[in-house]
Chains A and B, each alone.
Chain A
Amino acid sequence: MSSTLIQVIAGGLLLGAVYALFSSGLTLVWGMMNIVNFAHGDFVMLGMYVAFVVWTLFGAGPWLGAPLAVLVLATLGIVVYFGLIRDIMKGPMLAQILGTFGLALLLRYSVFWWFGANFLSLPENLVGGTFDIMGLRIQASRLLAGVVALLVTLGLHFLLTRTSLGSKMLAVAEDSTAAQLMGIRPDTMQAVAWAIAAGATGLAGALIATFFYVVPTVGETLGIVAFVTVSLGGFGSVPGALVAGLLIGVIESLSAYLIGAVYKDMVVYALFLGFLWFRPQGLMGKL
């Protein structure tokens, strides 16, 4: 295998890990309460801006920016749950779609109004530059994002399958009335789910900001990838999102390099549709 091809695959894996990282929050909300959060991309965007503000104010990297982004976004998640989601969940499907879509526009244009439309960027060497391993170039910032993606996925999976909090959350997801009879408060559990999902998304944003540009509309660019990743991985499946993210990253990189960048979306979506034809529940989802 040529060294360039190894670079392409390595780049694809790291890219895929990032896709997985910002998709895990979406899959959690989706799986927990069957709500498609159209504002998800804009949560990522907010995480990026938190990292940017932390850098401008304190000159600090993601070591400070990432925890702060988790905190800010988790709080926002709770506010959004009690202020919007709890009510629109009782409404028709269309109200849910338009509700989160409205939230997306509100967040996007608030940031737009506050920060302006300019493209921003964090310095390239904020996370230790780039490693050169016998010609293989690995960006420290992407590696960090990749490692965190793995940890977050494992953490969420552990939380859902091994802890009592996770069991309670899943119980609410399965049958909220029955859970209530068992003494679990659905409201609290769902608010916790939103806090975790939004926090993980904010973390993703803060890490992506170290190697991507920051702009109010960046959520549009990233949001679509998250939706594809989640549906390929299986709605609600956190490990599924990781596998799907890695798969999409590698397929995108390989097809961009071998066939041409303009065809990479075509390849990804064709494989995606073909796969859903055989397995509509996604890689690890349940029907």
Chain B
Amino acid sequence: MKFKRIAGLVCAASISVLSASGAFSQEKTVKIGAVLPLSGSAASAGAHTKAAIEVAVDIINNAHPEFGNFPLAKNAGLAGLGGAKVEVVFGDNQGSPAAGQNQTLRLITEEKVVAVTGAYQSGVTLTASAIAEKYGIPFVNGESVAANLTERGFKWFFRTTPIASDIARIDYDFLTDMKASGVKSNSIAIVHDTTEYGVSVANVIASTFKEKGQPIGLDIAYTTNATDVQGQVLQLKEKKPDVVIMIAYTSDAILYQKTMQALDYKPPMIIADDSGYSDPSMIKAVGKISQGVLNRSSWSIGPAGSPTALIAEMYKKKTGDDMDDTTGRAMQAFFVLCDAIDRAGSTEPAKIQTALKATDLKPDQLMMGYKGVKFDEKGQNVLASSLIIQLQDGENYVAVWPKGNSQKAPALPYKGW
């Protein structure tokens, strides 16, 4: 009886010692905040980005030798922090600047995240990153393109995506090239919403084109989440511009394409600006009546077995959707952030900031088709770049410009349906 009791005590003691030592040897985790529109009208973009970040976490936290030299993939966890695992805490910004601010505050002060990524819409990134700046926490953004985000003198804000000025230049160069091959592009119309994103991109495109002697003839602004866009489409139909540049989130993009079809309006050329027109659910919904829409993208699936193809496969398995440019750009930013934390070898925000400033990633270390990632003193990636893609068959985008990087020649005029 006595023996049994002693044996029982010994067992209990050994269990507690074992579990205690287990706790000691448990690896540290690095907490990163992701502020995304998980509800509200941009929830489809938010859900896609969340899934992409979860795929990235899988790649980082588990050993993936098949990725070759892709940063952070080979070993399990972050090697620079002794194999520490990455944990992402998501905050739902509801697509609203105020909620974006609150959620960032919560992630920083309550969840104690060491860095933040997000927040999809430029207008939300604007407020969310201001909170990170105030608390001295690095904020890495990969998908918001409004020019002013990196013009605020922020020290903790870093952005990997091509921005409005890059987009304007790409669109202009593309049109110039098309003109040389005989495509008419004398009159240009811009259709954009009045969000931070829509206004910023439209303004930068208009001023860039004007500087180069190609003023925008028609500027149509509308309020996002419209119930009806017949008036706008009829304005276009009457003015007959050679080129229509569409800057719209998913809901409005779908409505515009449906309305154009209903009113039998086919502009000779539609150049869309990513966002709504890149959303896979937009392509499923109205791709068949949007054949020939041009768009910009930095995503390309690459040859079989390449890191990009592997990522595309993992993502498709998780979501059932194909990887798109917007989601890919957000995922790239997350990789860049984790790479900086790894190099910093620390979870101290100041050290991560220093490591971000020293970032110098080469094209083969990236999943997006940028020329690299290197930040200027404003925190903007100076090596970001983009291709022109076209929805030729109504189902999949193919790269059509510039010539060296394209799979097919641009098919013009716009086919529609």
Contacts and interface: CB of A to CB of B under 8 A. Distances in A.
B221 A260 contact: yes
Contacts of A265: 223
Contacts of A29: none
B71 to A, nearest CB: 30
Contact of B262 (A4, A8, A211, A261): A211
Interface residues of B, number: 42
A137 B260 CA distance: 11
Nearest to B276: A119
A109 B47 CA distance: 14
Contacts of B263: 7, 137
Interface residues of A, number: 41
Contact of A261 (B39, B222, B261, B279): B222
A196 interface: no
Interface in A192-220: 211-213, 215-217, 220
B285 A121 contact: yes
Contact of B39 (A15, A121, A217, A221): A217
Interface stretch (B62-70, B148-156, B229-237, B392-400): B229-237
B285 A120 contact: yes
Interface string A92-135: 00000000000000000100100011111100100000101000
Nearest to B286: A121
Nearest to B264: A137
A76 interface: no
Given A112-B39, A121-B254, A262-B223, A215 B44 contact: yes
A124 B258 contact: yes
Contacts of B264: 130, 132, 137
Interface in A9-64: 11-12, 15
A264 B285 contact: no
Interface-centre pick from A121, A220, A262, A264 (highest chain B CB count, 10 A): A121
B173 interface: no
B231 A221 contact: no
Contacts of B279: 119
Interface in A243-264: 252-257, 260-262, 264
A176 interface: no
Interface-centre pick from B40, B221, B228 (highest chain A CB count, 10 A): B228
Contact of A119 (B44, B221, B222, B226): B44
B41 interface: yes
A216 B42 CA distance: 11
B309 interface: no
A219 to B, nearest CB: 11
A222 interface: yes
B44 A118 contact: yes
Contact of B281 (A11, A120, A124, A139): A120
B46 A117 contact: yes
A117 B39 CA distance: 8
B55 interface: no
Given A213-B285, A257-B231, A117 B47 contact: yes
A221 B224 CA distance: 10
A214 B363 CA distance: 39
A225 interface: yes
B43 A216 contact: yes
Contact of A264 (B231, B258, B284, B417): B231
Contacts of B237: 4
Contact of B194 (A213, A222, A255, A262): A262
Given A119-B251, A256-B231, A261-B232, A112 B43 contact: yes
B263 to A, nearest CB: 5
B46 to A, nearest CB: 7
A253 B44 contact: no
B361 interface: no
B227 A222 contact: yes
Contacts of B43: 112, 117, 215-217
Contacts of A221: 41, 225, 227, 251
A124 B223 contact: no
Contacts of A253: 228, 230-231
Interface string B243-256: 00000001100110
B254 A119 contact: yes
A153 to B, nearest CB: 20
Contacts of B47: 116-118
A215 to B, nearest CB: 7
Contact of A252 (B228, B262, B284, B289): B228
Contacts of B230: 7-8, 11-12, 15, 253, 256-257
A39 B35 CA distance: 27
A215 B41 contact: yes
Nearest to B95: A217
Given A212-B255, A215-B44, A216-B43, A119 B231 contact: no
Contacts of A132: 264
Given A8-B231, A119-B279, A211-B258, A217 B40 contact: yes
Interface string B394-416: 00000000000000000000000
Interface string B191-224: 0001000000000000000000000000011110
Nearest to A11: B230
A12 B284 CA distance: 28
Closest 7 CB pairs of A and B: A256-B231, A121-B285, A261-B222, A117-B43, A118-B281, A257-B231, A11-B230
Given A121-B284, A137-B263, 11 more contacts: A4-B234, A7-B230, A112-B39, A117-B44, A137-B264, A211-B262, A213-B258, A253-B230, A256-B229, A260-B220, A261-B222
11 contacts: A12-B230, A15-B228, A117-B43, A130-B264, A213-B285, A253-B228, A256-B231, A257-B230, A260-B220, A261-B222, A265-B223
